Amino acid sequence: MPRLGAGGAPPVLPIALLWLGAAALVAGTVALSFSPRLLIGHSGSAGMVALVHTFTLGFVSLVFAGTLQQLPAVMFVTRLAWPRLGYVSTPLLLIGTVLIVCGFAAGFAGRLLALGGLTLSVAWLLLLTQHLATALRRWPKDAGGQALVMSVVFLTLTVVAGLILAGARTTPQVAATVGYPVGLHMTLGFFGAFLLGIIGSGQKLLQMFALSKGGAQWRVRSSAWLVAAGITAEALRAFAVLDSGLMPPILIGAAALLQLHEVHAIHKRRLRRKLEAPIQRYVLAHLFLPVAALLWLAGLPVAAAAAFLVGFTGMAVSGMLVKIMSFLVWTATFAGSATGGVAGGAPLLRDLVRDELEPVTTWGLAAGTLALCAALATQLVPLAYLAANLLLIGAISQLLQVTNIVLSTIRAKRRIEVSSARESTA
């Protein structure tokens, strides 16, 4: 009979990473609101690529890295290996992200990009080693846990592929040897890291938060292998080994379809009829998968990428960010100590969340993504302004929420301490 063994990193590490991830989204949307015309024109412009990396590295990857400081302990039911390693990897993640974004914003500055790529590669190799060492302590038998391991491998490969791209820009020999595999870099990041990460962690988390038992191991397992096969096909094409044609999008599309089926099944069989607002946002995010597919089929790949990245990945990460943040700060503050049965002491987790902010975040991000896709598809300037401002509203609301969660918990802790002091004095 397994004993409980949850144990993550020092709480300050994941809490800081999650908060900084939310702050990075605000920074990116502020930048976009000052220059929404970036959405009109060449999608590979320096400013646009800098914005995309603010989102992928600043928001999604920081939240992912923060989650990895706690989630494996829950999913694998073991203790995190080298829990203090985050004190090394976290500063490297932050420095590398800033260098990369500045490198793109400065007009593809090769040295900044190479240095940033190297820093991030070291950070993610450390995180991958920690994750694998944790998994090896108690190898996950469930498909979700295995998919999570694969997604961390793919995220690390994405960063390494980015370093190779930076090397190809500055060193002709690198370019001559490996070419310029942007497609592989994007496929690894979008689908190997983000889609698979959401598939892997989502089944367990959604079932837990929705009190459902609708999940199926075969669906998650099949999704994981389809994504892996799609990435392999893309790699064969990138290195000119084989022209894989439409195989990568077909395989990855099938994985996304299975994920939609999985989320629908869990949602349908939930016992908690009214899901909490952050979980509703996580579920709603999946509607952007068919939107992205339709845009791609309509010959609008940039708009499709925006729907996938901001709509699906952004909203799914945002939903889980709020839930995981409340768990993290609550357990960091109250775990292991009696709370007087909760009723007389610590607040419930839901009391840490300001309800009025949740719809603002959800609809800001959702409507902002739709406007973003429309702006990219039509190249209309007013839509670009609308998208920038809606996304900014959603991002600010999310940052206010995660800040409020931390402050509410601190206030609750103080209240309990004052109350205990009065009782002992009396």
Q: Which is nearer to another protein, 169 or 204 (CB)?
A: 204
Residue 1 or 426 having the CB closest to another protein: 1
Reduced to 3 states (helix: H, G, I; strand: E, B; else coil), residue 211 is coil
Dihedral Cα 228, 234, 240, 243, nearest 10 deg: 110
For another protein, the closer of residues 57 and 332 by Cβ is 332
Rg of the chain over CA atoms, in angstroms?
21
Residue placing its CB nearer to another protein in the complex, 216 or 380: 216
Site for another protein in 63-92 (CB under 8 A): 70, 73-77
**Shortest CB 70 distance to another protein, Å:** 7
Q: For 395, list phi and psi in degrees, rounded to 5.
A: -70, -40
- Coil, strand or helix at 275: coil
CB nearer another protein, residue 240 or residue 343: 343
**Encoding tokens for residue 231?**
């990435």
The number of CA neighbours under 13 Å toward the Cβ of 127 is 35
Q: Whole-angstrom Cα distance, residue 399 to residue 424?
A: 38
Cβ of residue 137: shortest distance to another protein, in angstroms?
12
Stretch that binds another protein, among 122-130, 325-333, 362-370, 417-425 (CB under 8 A): 325-333
State the minimum distance, in angstroms, from the CB of residue 416 to another protein.
Answer: 12
Between 335 and 407, whose beta carbon lies closer to another protein? 335
User: Which residue among 5, 91, 183, 359 contacts another protein (CB under 8 A)?
Assistant: 5
Q: Which of 271, 299, 423, 426 binds another protein (CB under 8 A)?
A: 271
- Whether 130 and 80 have beta carbons less than 8 Å apart is answered as yes
Cα separation, 279 vs 368, whole angstroms: 19
Query: Least separation, in Å, of the C-beta of 76 and another protein?
Result: 7
Residues 383-422 that bind another protein (CB under 8 A): none
Window contacting another protein (CB under 8 A); options: 175-183, 191-199, 244-252, 272-280: 272-280
Asked if 206 contacts 279 with a C-beta cutoff of 8 angstroms, the reply is yes
- Range list of β-strands (E), 49-174: none
Least separation, in Å, of the C-beta of 208 and another protein? 5
Q: For helices 357-378 and 288-297, give the axis angle rounded to 10 degrees.
A: 0
The least CB distance from residue 204 to another protein, in Å, is 8
For another protein, the binding residues in 328-387 under the rule CB under 8 A are 330-331, 334-343, 346-350
Residue count, binding to another protein (CB under 8 A): 40
Judged by CB under 8 A, the residue of 59, 104, 194, 327 near another protein is 327
| 8 Å CB contact between 214 and 268 | yes
| Interface characters, 199-218, with another protein (x: CB under 8 A) | -----x---x--xxx-----
For residue 134, state whether it binds another protein (rule: CB under 8 A).
Answer: no
Cβ proximity to another protein: between 2 and 172 the closer is: 2
φ, ψ for residue 240, nearest 5 deg: 55, 35
Is the sign of the CA dihedral 316, 318, 323, 327 positive or negative?
positive
CB of 346 to another protein, least distance (A): 7
Measured between alpha carbons, how far is 252 from 248 in angstroms, rounded to an integer? 6
Q: Are 278 and 358 in contact (CB under 8 A)?
A: yes
Which one of 173, 176, 243, 274 is in contact with another protein (CB under 8 A)?
274
CB of 288 to another protein, least distance (A): 26
DSSP string, 75-128: HTTSBPSSGGGHHHHHHHHHHHHHHHHHHHHTTS-HHHHHHHHHHHHHHHHHHH
Positive or negative, the CA dihedral 113, 63, 337, 137 is negative
- The contact pattern for another protein, residues 139-178, with x = CB under 8 A and - = no contact, is ----------------------------------------
Minimum CB–partner distance for residue 240 and another protein (Å): 45
Tell me whether residue 178 or residue 349 sits nearer to another protein (CB atom). Answer: 349
Q: How far is CA 306 from CA 313, 315, 343, 366, in A?
A: 10, 12, 44, 12
Q: Which is nearer to another protein, 185 or 323 (CB)?
A: 323
Shorter beta-carbon distance to another protein: residue 1 or 240: 1
| Of 137, 147, 130, 201, nearest in space to 2 by CA | 137
Give the residue with the Cβ less far from another protein, 3 or 422.
3
Measured between alpha carbons, how far is 324 from 216 in angstroms, rounded to an integer? 23
- The answer to whether the Cα torsion of 187, 190, 195, 197 is positive or negative is positive
* 3 state DSSP class of 212: strand
Which residues lie near another protein (CB under 8 A)?
Answer: 1-6, 8, 70, 73-77, 204, 208, 211-213, 271-274, 327, 330-331, 334-343, 346-350
